């Protein structure tokens, strides 16, 4: 069964699992083996990080950010949590657009 973890990454944590000398990483907050972030947040930001052990799902979140999946998640949350997820989703989507644009510029 696919594991899906939603983590509110705190400010200052590095958005990766391998240890970074003297830095807090996702590994310090998620003691689950073999899950990885589907996207990243800057160390100096906080917000929703989706973690999964399913590579296809991670790619799907990263590449398309499926609307129906977000709606399914939101249906089960209170209003404050919905707002936090929507804000984090918007930031994640903006990040992916930026990365895609940078990749396109590098290709030319």
Condensed to tens digits (0 to 9), the pLDDT of residues 3-48 reads 889 999 999 999 888 888 899 999 999 989 889 888 778 899 888 8
Among 28, 42, 53, 54, which one carries the catalytic annotation? 42
pTM: 0.56
Angle at 49 between CA 71 and CA 96, to 5 degrees: 80
CATH topology (fold) of 4-107: Alpha-Beta Plaits (3.30.70)
Identify whether the C-beta of residue 47 lies closer than 8 Å to the C-beta of residue 91.
yes
Mean pLDDT to the nearest integer, 88-97: 76
42 is annotated as an active-site residue: yes
- Is the sign of the CA dihedral 43, 45, 97, 51 positive or negative? positive
3-class secondary structure, 86: helix
Partners of residue 25 on adjacent β-strands: 14
Place of tokens 């950010």: 65
pLDDT at 104: 58
């Amino acid at each position: 069964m696919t594991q899906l973890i939603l983590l509110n990454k705190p400010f200052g944590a590095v958005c990766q699992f391998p240890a970074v000398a003297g830095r807090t990483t996702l590994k310090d907050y998620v003691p689950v083996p073999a899950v990885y972030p589907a996207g990243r947040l800057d160390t100096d930001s906080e917000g929703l990080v989706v973690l999964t052990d399913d590579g296809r799902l991670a790619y799907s979140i990263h590449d398309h950010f499926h609307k129906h999946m977000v709606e399914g998640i939101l249906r089960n949350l209170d209003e404050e949590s919905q707002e936090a997820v929507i804000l984090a989703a918007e930031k994640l989507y903006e990040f992916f657009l930026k990365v895609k644009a940078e990749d396109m510029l590098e290709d030319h």
